[in-house]
Structure 1
Amino acid sequence: MPIPIPHNEADRVSALHAMAVLDSPPETDFDDIVQIASEICGAPISLVTMVDTDRWWFKAQCGPIGVREAPREIAFCSYAIMGRDLMVIPDTTADGRFAENPIVQGDPHIRFYAGAPLLTSEGAALGTLCVLDYKPHRLNVEQMRALRTLAGEVTDLLELRRQAVTETLDARPQLRTLDLAYITEDRIHHLRAIGDDRKTVITLARTDPAWVRADPARLYQAVDYVSFTALKATPAGGRVAVRVVNSPSPTIELRQPAGSGPPMWCADLSGTRTSDEPVPHAVAEILRAHGATTASTSDIRGSTDVLIALQFPAA
């Protein structure tokens, strides 16, 4: 059976190649996401896939799949990128599109697939975040919501990565006066779908507005990444406490359990160590362009929690 081709295939492939991600080595951020997706969905395999012109290439993988790429004609993701929402196949042998697929009939005998398309802001589906199983499987509503949210995080990572590797981070920020508390609240609300499924509590405390001068798109990217990094570093069942204060300067405080160590973006921003991976370096550069500084400390006597304070100049 011929595979479907999106109506915007030329634009889609062009957008994918512009990301400069194909055939790149594994990176921590993407590897972390497939681990979380597999954990949340109870599936032994999870992949971040890119659907190229004639191949299905894996940027990250969790679980035994055995290869880094496969022909596009056998890719479940070739169908998932046709839509804008999650595609779920509870039993591949009962679906006429996949029953005769060689990876269903032969190794690794995939019986379940769920894939969320990785959509750019222009609507191009670059690939998917997907989970697979060797037996029929179903996802509940909460798992599907979390998988969609994680797919959005992957798309954000790809855009941050593109900015770093194509050296477009030096563009002058388009500054506006924004409330740092509002931006943080919006990002925390977005991430709760992931926290809820991992039984990880994310709390947010805010008081007065914390006005900063910032490029909205870039600051949203950075705050989302900083918050997600704290969430994924917290063990299932743990707690991330976020607070936004306005004195002595607009500050985001993130408290997370000890043992996770300072995140790469934090070490890069503080000048301790330049990240050797593009995404955390991109985040540090965005924050640096906004005049942000950071400190990491265990500020409560007798507490082993790590507090990261991200401070911005007041508007």
Structure 2
Amino acid sequence: MGLDHTATKPHEALADHLSGKLGDVNTLIRERMASRHAPRIPEVTAHLVEAGGKRLRPMLTLATADLCGYGGAYDVHLAATVEFIHTATLLHDDVVDESAQRRGRPTANLLWDNKSSVLVGDYLFARSFQLMVETGSLRVLDILSNAAATIAEGEVLQLSAARDLRTDEAIYLQVVRGKTAALFSAATEVGGVIAEVDEAKIKALFDYGDALGIAFQIVDDLLDYQGDTSATGKNVGDDFRERKLTLPVIKAVAAASETERAFWERTIEKGDQRDGDLEEALRLLHHHGTLGATRQDALRWSGKARDAILTLPEHPVRDMLSDLADYVVARIN
């Protein structure tokens, strides 16, 4: 089932529950993405921020703060911070990947140019640090600044690992923890920190975000080979065309015969792709059962996320977050 065709949508339940705070986050985002001297900044930012994304990461911060009984206003600052970091990384990623489509729309680098995308991304990173500082919490600053560094580190690691057939599942997991899970876990962890709950609860929130982020990215990589373009906003096989070694292919390479390995060397390492190669790649993934094995990995990580959140006291938000962990994997057809 696709994300928008299931009977239950936990992210919508969360959005309804947090609607007041989400409205405050959106207001703060619009205020802080403004620029008196460079009107292109809000133009580029608005194109991505207002493109219909589900605000999942900022919702995680608001939800975990609510779950922990936080009654202040800085959860809104932190949620906006998380969204700015996420948006900045998307702007930079689309330049690095030379992408032409994001959430079913032309990318900012296509509509404007690479320079604008990179510089506006830098501006959003700077804005995110201003928001962090305003909370007055050094621990929050430490968590989110480390997350920003880890994201960049993961992206750089992916540059060297993505087209190297020696990349194994351990390296893949390291990349995913960097480029995706780091922001998920930071988003959930700071919700507990700002509420000043005990360390065991903060650790449970971190573990939930970490596992949820890993499951989310595994599913995203799987959808590249079996997703619905109208639902994902991506073309099937984009990762293959961009020569990215994601988990389904890593598993297929590990099981490959000599002839099959030569195919992956030609298409991924050397970039010599020909008509029919995507179809052959899909045949090999099905032949070795790597799509099903990848789905099982996603289910295992979503289970870890669910187990982590269920260690916290009963609360309606806890149940929504538990459902969300299951729902992440329901995006798979």
TM-score, L = length of structure 2? 0.30
Structure with the largest fraction of strand: 1
Structure with the higher helix share, 1 or 2: 2
- What is the TM-score normalised by the length of structure 1? 0.31
